[in-house]
């Protein structure tokens, strides 16, 4: 599986990277998109099949925070999802 950086979106104090991913060498478009925070996939490899919006990213971050006991800082958040 290959991936390519598309954009960084700042949401709620977090810089979230959006990557387009594809499965074959001869790609014409991305098969899906993943969200990364400091190198960690935050959508648990549940891909987005359209380019994630800022609202999608907010929902993903909020969901991850709720799963990880609402840690307040980016360092706590990253430690918890590792």
What's the CA gap between 8 and 80, in Å, rounded? 22
Tens of pLDDT, residue by residue, the chain (82 residues): 899 999 999 998 899 999 999 987 767 889 999 999 999 899 876 899 999 999 999 999 888 776 665 555 666 666 665 5
Q: Is 43 exposed, middle or buried (0-12, 13-18, 19+ CB in 10 A)?
A: buried
What sign does the dihedral 31-41-5-56 (CA atoms) show? positive
What's the CA gap between 71 and 34, in Å, rounded? 22
């Amino acid at each position: 599986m290959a991936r390519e950086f598309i954009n960084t979106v700042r949401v709620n104090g977090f810089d979230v990277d959006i990557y387009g991913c594809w499965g074959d060498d001869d790609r014409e478009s991305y098969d899906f998109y993943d969200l990364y925070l400091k190198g960690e996939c935050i959508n648990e490899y549940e891909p987005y099949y359209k380019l994630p919006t800022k609202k999608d990213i907010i929902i993903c971050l909020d969901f991850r925070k709720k799963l990880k006991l609402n840690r307040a800082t980016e360092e706590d958040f990253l430690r918890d999802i590792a």
